Amino acid sequence: MLWLFLGVPFLLLQSCVGIPNLYQPSISNKIRFVQPIFIGALFGILDILVIKIIQHPQAYKELPPFLQPFPYSIFLYFSGALEIEVFYRLIPITLLLLIGKKIADGRYFNYFLWTAIIATSLREPLEQLPTGEYWYITYALLSGFIMNYLQGIYYKNAGFMATLSLRLGHYLFWHILLGFYVQYFELLK
């Protein structure tokens, strides 16, 4: 967990690159927390529908690797979300925007911004590209890209806490509540 402190200097640089700081008063809690959590929850519910209900409707015999026992899952997926957001969004986007501010006195800043958002949106879905049927691979790539793209937009408009909130909304349903259901309702039958 100590390596997460590598993100602290980048939190302090957010205002310098046009990203709202952690608790900027002009960003409402609705924009910073409520909307992102809701959007993340929708992605989590969609993953449950596609992967659990359509692809694997039968009861699991054991927890699959993407689920962990409750209540351990709460701590694991919170720290996992924090790690992903620090290393997939906070550091790379802030670093690219710092470079964009310096090159040609910031004339190309928007190119750096959109390159950073698109590149960070592609990273996770490409790293986690599944095998299987074409429709499922397409679903995983598109839903992963869209969710990460929205996180990039929320990062730009509402800051780090908004992008973390979106991921936590997703993890709440996809990893924690689904894990709770499988653990206590499928495995205990």
With contact defined as beta carbons under 8 Å apart, do 170 and 42 qualify?
Answer: no
Does the pLDDT at position 182 exceed 80?
Answer: yes
With contact defined as beta carbons under 8 Å apart, do 109 and 156 qualify?
Answer: no
For 36-95, write each residue's pLDDT tens digit.
999 999 999 999 999 999 999 999 999 999 999 999 999 999 999 999 999 999 999 999
Does the pLDDT at position 1 exceed 70?
Answer: no
DSSP 63-119: --TT---TTHHHHHHHHHHHHHHIIIIIHHHHHHHHHHHHGGGGTTHHHHHHHHHHH
The two three-digit tokens of residue 57, written as one number: 């409707």
Confidence of residue 4 (pLDDT cuts 50, 70, 90): confident
The two three-digit tokens of residue 43, written as one number: 């992605």
Does the pLDDT at position 5 exceed 90?
Answer: no
Map residue 144 onto helix, strand or coil. Answer: helix
Report pTM: 0.95
Question: Measured between alpha carbons, how far is 34 from 165 in angstroms, rounded to an integer?
Answer: 8
